[in-house]
Amino acid sequence: MGCPGVPHESAPDAGSRVEGTFIVNPVSDDRTRRPKAETETVTETLDRWSRLSQESSRFDPALYVEYDVKRGLRDLTGKGVVAGLTQIGDVVGSRVEGDSRVPAPGQLIYRGIDVVDLVDGFLAEGRLGFEETSYLLLFGELPDGDELRLFGDNLASYRKLPRQFVHDAILGMPSHDIMNAMARSVLSMYLLDKHADDTSIANVLRQSLHLISKFSMLAVYAYQAYLEEFCGKSLVIHRPAAELSTAENFLHMLRPNSKFTPLEAQVLDLSLVLHAEHGGGNNSSFTAHVVSSSGTDTYSAIAASLGSLKGPKHGGANIKVVHMFDDLKLNVRDWEDDEEIERYLLRVLDRQEFDRSGLIYGMGHPVYSVSDPRTVILRHYAERLAGEKGLAKEYQLHAKVETLAPQAIAKTRTVYKGVSANVDFYSGFVYQMLDIPQELYTPLFAVSRVVGWCAHRLEEIVSGGKIIRPAYKSVASRREYSPLEGR
């Protein structure tokens, strides 16, 4: 017997033809009525349907202004539509002066604490900070020494996956895309959880801690499976070490020799801290809220957030920055010539260079205008790491582009607010210096941001209550139904 609702596989009918992976059946023997359905190839049909879909999905962007709809839930100045309340994080890019709001140096707030103060605090004590940051975001308070050790010990104890799960769900099903592999693994974890659908706070918190602890393993192991299957590399799997932090374990599991320097671990840990949360309005955290509001399970909500983060407009932007700099290095002979660099940037904006998108990647942010606080912090440690790696010239090139790009943008665009480098501008460079492969740039973002997703899921369950379903304005004209015979 087959599974309920799943048809049995059978051989094609004698009158069918097979094209690619599709079976095309003739609709009828009457070729005078619907010749398209009988004579088109699958590709031709899909092309025709694609044109119909495009035509029926397109409308004049001016309608957004006419109906006062904030496209992407933000207006031209970057001000967002308020869709909810949160205590977890805040993103500040302006201040009030008199009766108006003006751009200001950016601030990122975790549970009421400026991330600059948080970073300065644990660095001053010579500690790594991701575990402390995770505790703060989940529970709203800074842990004392005993509580921090207990939290770290719990994460270490959860960094285990059944051997069969690793073999079957990760290594046995390699993927070209690590984010998709991680999402599949997260959904597979549902099968291991006897209380997968329990949405009580205690259970969701237990699930969250397991996910936070295991995400680095899911990412690295999926990458190792990718190397073995698609690149012909040897399969090297290191178990996580209980005495190592999340950042240290990532480097330990990724590198065949498991070796890393204290500065490398510190910079990676710092990157994890800076990416852990960014307010409830970022695309993937909002996804966690939206999906959680439906009452679904934790694994479905986190898999949905992974799908959101995978997009190049969200988590994949730092890869674009790296590729853009590779192209710049090929087209700019003198890295110290500001005029030559600016000419290249102007050609990029004019869609003549790089990917011809007209975008300088790593520049600009929906909220930050004067500065991105994550960039300010990461820039300093990028410089230190570049010095250790012998890449000071590459760092100086980044610094020059960071200065010149806003000037080039101002010459070619109408700028409604300031433009500054966002965190992606330096994070990709940092990952390059850490010898992290580009396939893991966005998954590494997820290793960090899963903390924010879990915190927002918990908040939605505790304080949300209603399912999130925003309104859309219909701009379709009304028309009458026409009988099939007359179409």
Catalytic residues: 314, 365, 424
Half-sphere exposure of residue 169: CA atoms within 13 angstroms, side-chain side: 20
Both structure tokens of 344: 């290249």
Helix (H, G, I), strand (E, B) or coil at 427: helix
Instruction: Report the C-alpha gap between 400 and 468 in whole angstroms.
Output: 44
Tell me which amino acid residue 434 is. L
Sign of the torsion formed by the C-alpha atoms of 410, 415, 419 and 424: negative
- Which residues lie below 8 Å from residue 469, measured CB to CB, with a gap of 6+? none
- Alpha-carbon distance 399 to 246, whole Å? 29
Tokens of 16: 């069918």
3-state class (DSSP) for residue 355: coil
Strand partners, 18: 23
What letter represents residue 452's amino acid?
Answer: G
The answer to whether the CB of 166 falls within 8 A of the CB of 239 is no
* Alpha-carbon gap, residue 313 to 320, rounded angstroms: 10
Dump the DSSP string for 2-16.
Answer: PPTT-PPP-PPPTT-
| Backbone phi, psi, residue 165, to 5° | -65, -45
d(CA 487, CA 482): 7
Separation CA 260–CA 127 (nearest Å): 16
**What SS3 state is found at 131?**
helix
Question: Across the beta sheet with 89-97, what order do the strands follow?
Answer: 89-97, 100-110, 113-114
